[in-house]
Structure formats: C-alpha cells, structure tokens
C-alpha cells in the first residue's frame, strides 16, 4: 500500500467507479484486474461446478472495503464480504477512533493446529498414556512423513499430547504448524497416518482421526486504546429523552464498559456480543476465501471453554481512555483451498497486502474488535436500530423499485420518516417520480 494509507475521507460518497480507482491506486492493483475479478461475483457457473456439487449457478454478495485500519503500525485496506447493512461502515468508523489512539496491536503467540486420534477400548489408560508418550518420537516422525511438502515449507508436526477422557477412551493430539495454510487437509492426513500405529502402541481400538476446530493453540490477541473524546458524536439524531450529542465522552466510555460487563455476566447477552464480533471477523474470512463455519465453531467453543459462555472481547476504562482486548482461536490460510480458484479471494489478499496467515488472522480479529466497539457504542447511546436501519433503507428503496439517484433520495426520506418499509418506499418513489414529471412554474403542460 502506498504511503497515503487506509484513511480516505468521504470514500462512501464517491461513485462506484471512482471508489474502485482509489482502491486500485492505494493497493497497487491494476484497474482491469479488479474489474475482471469482481465481474459477476468473480466465479462463473462453470468454475463453481468444479468447486462444489449439484451446482445451478452462483450467489453474489457485496464486496466492500473497511477503511482507517492500522495494525501494528501498518495501514491496511481490508476487504469484507457481508450482506448485513452497516457492518462495513461501522467497522470503518470504529477503526478511525482506534487509529487516533495508536491503532490495533495484535499478535499470534503460537500457531499450531490440532489433529485428534481417538483410541477406545482401553483397559488401562495410565499404561496406554505412558506407552504413547514413550513412542512420541516415532509418532512425530511418522506424522512428518505424511506431509513432506509442509516440512519443505518449514512447517510440520511439533508435539504430541495425550488426554485421558475416561470410560476407556484416550485421545492423542498431534500439534501441527501449518505455516500459511488453514491446514485441515494437512492435519487430517497426519491423523490418518498416525492413527493405526497409535492404536497398536496403546492396545486400543482406533476411532476417529480428524482435526479439531477448537484451535486454541492458534489464538490471536488484539488490543486497542480509544481516547474518550473520539467516542463523541458529531451529530444530534432525534431521540426520546435528548440527543446523543449531549452525552459527555466519558459517559459514552462508561456506557461501553457497562455493556461489556453485561456480556461478562450474562450468556444471553454474550451470545449477541460475540455475534457482533463475528460480523467483522467473518466478513474478512469470507472475502479471503477461508472457512467461516470452522472459524465460528472454534470461536464459540472457545467462548464456552470454562463451562459458561463468555464474551470474546472486553472493554475497560484506563484513566480517560477506553481499552479493549479480544482473544480468540482463528485458523486462516493464504494458500490452498478456495484461494486457488476464486479470483476475488486472490484480489482480497492483494488489496490487503499480505500472503501471511498470521497477519490475515490479526487483521480479521482487529475488524472483529472494531465491530464490537461500534456495536457497543451504538447500544450505549442512540440504540442499535437507528444507524442500522438508516443503511438498511437503501435495500428497502431498491426493493421498492428505485434506481440510480432515486435510491439515496428514497432511502433518506423513509429513514427520516422512521418508516423503513417497502410500501412506504414505494409511496415515496411514486411521489418523487410524479414531481419529476410535473411542469415547472410558467412551463406549459404537455
């Protein structure tokens, strides 16, 4: 990315073609490459027919860009694929607040996937565990031979752990460094190779051999600092009881902390709190051709690891500032899988400016924390519906038949009226078109 970075004021006001030009300029992408990649969603029916089964066609989703993102001192334009209105805008706005406080700080302390080998029918789990531990070197060597390509890239199996589950069942974990791959196929190949030998060593019946999506040895940690003054609203939406503009910055910060604490105490609230985080995470995961179902499974399992469902991100006051932290398992890849065939996934990584899986994970998690901040700020002040529904109004306007410049006019009118319904949009559209065809004063009617 060029030195102008990810801060592009007024980007959303630009026409679509100009937005594409600006992003290409910043990301060093030739405009024809972008145009060709995103045409028709980037994947035609013939190509899709080779990716999954029983194909009839393709299903398009919006491909947007989150702005203002700075992670570990580096600016990034972040591709997001999501169908929900306000997600991209909210993440960009929150990233702008975080940027003023120094940006996101992120790390991946270790990056190991887990392959599980289930062993059953064990008479003495202590003896089986001891034997498996004694043959660890042999098992690791066997695991490495199953993935020579990964070894050549500097990855491979790193350790073996044995867990006694009781009831005559032991599970062997092979910890694997998958480098820049998500690693499902690699880890499964290792588990398949190790399984029969592990069963023989443990005098057990061989059960399942597959990776775990609870990749808690491949966690990402993100933190950020937001100055209270940057949380203030620059406008005054109408709201019973007063406007959010009247709220002091420290009141907004305290409201965010209180909302965070609510999620820590109540799993019903934590579920929605974490859904807001995954709005940002999943949008990046999908844009880059990764498996969002695996990411979701791992995130929610990790949130429930203590036996009670907990929030993935928390917010606290630190003097005049607001400090947020997020920790979650996140297994993403920049090679293999959908990336090999989907031109938009390849374009997304080019725009993002990385081919490193850890950097991609840190970016996705940062967008998750940004999305969480935006949601809590809205909930603690004007409520979630106003901003969300204002953006949703554009979809309603289109559903009512608005085209071109009509969309923004109809959307603005129904949002101002507080009636974001297709029927209301249709009435406004009719009024707009009728007025456009009425003769001007002094002009004869035809």
Distance of alpha carbon 22 from alpha carbon 20, whole angstroms: 6
84, 126, 159, 248: which is the annotated catalytic residue? Answer: 84
Q: Tell me which of 291, 359, 406, 424 is the catalytic residue.
A: 291
Residue recorded with tokens 């998500």: 182
- Annotated catalytic, 84? yes
Whether 358 is catalytic is no
Which residues partner with 279 through β-bridges? none
Catalytic one among 136, 275, 300, 321? 275
Q: Is the dihedral of CA 60, 64, 70, 74 positive or negative?
A: positive
Q: What whole-number distance in Å separates Cα of residue 445 and Cα of residue 245?
A: 47
State yes or no: is 392 an active-site residue.
no
C-alpha 376/C-alpha 230 separation (Å) is 14
Torsion of CA 335, 339, 341, 347, to 10 degrees: -120
H or E stretch at 69 = strand 63-71
Residues in CB range of 382: below 8 A, 6 or more apart: 233, 237, 239, 244
Known catalytic residue at 388? yes
Q: Which of 98, 366, 363 is nearest to 256 (CA)?
A: 98
In sequence order, what are the residues at sequence separation of 6 or more whose Cβ sits closer than 8 angstroms to the Cβ of residue 113? 175, 176, 177, 178, 183, 186, 187, 211, 215, 217, 218, 331
> Which residue has 């209301």 as its token pair?
424
Q: Given 173, 342, 388, 392, which residue is catalytic?
A: 388
Q: How far apart are CA 108 and CA 217, in angstroms?
A: 10
Comparing C-alpha atoms, which of 277, 116, 265 is closest to residue 194?
Answer: 116
* CB contact at 8 A, 110 and 358: no
> Which residues belong to the active site?
84, 275, 291, 388
């Amino acid at each position: 990315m060029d030195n102008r970075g990810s801060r592009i004021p007024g980007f959303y006001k630009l026409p679509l073609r100009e937005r594409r030009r600006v992003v290409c300029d910043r990301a060093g992408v030739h405009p024809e490459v972008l145009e060709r990649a995103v045409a028709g969603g980037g994947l035609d029916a013939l190509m899709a027919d080779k990716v999954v089964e029983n194909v009839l066609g393709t299903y398009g989703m919006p491909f947007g860009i989150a702005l203002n993102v700075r992670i570990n001192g580096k600016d990034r334009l972040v591709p997001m694929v999501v169908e929900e209105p306000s997600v991209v805008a909210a993440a960009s706005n929150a990233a702008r607040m975080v940027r003023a406080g120094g940006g996101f700080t992120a790390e991946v302390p270790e990056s190991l996937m887990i392959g599980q080998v289930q062993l059953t029918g064990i008479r003495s789990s202590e003896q089986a565990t001891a034997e498996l531990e004694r043959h660890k070197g042999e098992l690791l060597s066997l695991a490495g031979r199953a993935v020579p390509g990964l070894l050549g890239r500097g990855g491979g199996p790193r350790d073996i752990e044995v867990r006694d589950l009781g009831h005559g069942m032991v599970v062997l974990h092979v910890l694997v460094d998958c480098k820049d791959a998500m690693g499902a196929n690699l880890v499964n190949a290792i588990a398949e190779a190790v399984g029969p030998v592990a069963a023989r060593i443990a005098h057990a019946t061989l059960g399942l051999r597959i990776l775990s999506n609870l990749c808690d040895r491949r966690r990402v940690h993100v933190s950020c600092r937001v100055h209270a003054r940057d949380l203030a609203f620059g406008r005054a939406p109408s709201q019973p009881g007063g406007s959010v503009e009247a709220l002091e910055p420290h009141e907004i910060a305290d409201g965010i902390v209180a909302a965070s604490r609510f999620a820590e105490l109540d799993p019903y609230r934590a579920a929605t709190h974490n859904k807001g985080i995954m709005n940002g995470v999943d949008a990046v995961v999908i844009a880059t051709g990764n498996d969002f179902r695996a990411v979701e499974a791992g995130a929610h399992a990790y949130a429930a690891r203590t036996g009670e469902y907990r929030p993935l991100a928390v917010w606290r006051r630190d003097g005049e500032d607001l400090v947020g932290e997020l920790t979650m398992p996140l297994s993403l890849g920049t090679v293999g899988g959908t990336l090999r065939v989907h031109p938009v996934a390849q374009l997304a990584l080019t725009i993002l400016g990385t081919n490193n899986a850890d950097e991609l994970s840190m970016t996705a998690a940062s967008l998750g924390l940004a999305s969480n901040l935006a949601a809590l700020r809205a909930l603690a002040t004007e409520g979630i519906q106003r901003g969300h529904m204002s953006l949703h109004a554009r979809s309603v306007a289109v559903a009512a038949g608005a085209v071109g410049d009509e969309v923004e006019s109809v959307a603005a009118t129904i949002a101002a009226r507080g009636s974001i319904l297709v029927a209301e949009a249709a009435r406004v559209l009719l009024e707009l078109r009728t007025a456009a065809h009425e003769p001007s004063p002094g002009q004869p009617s035809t």
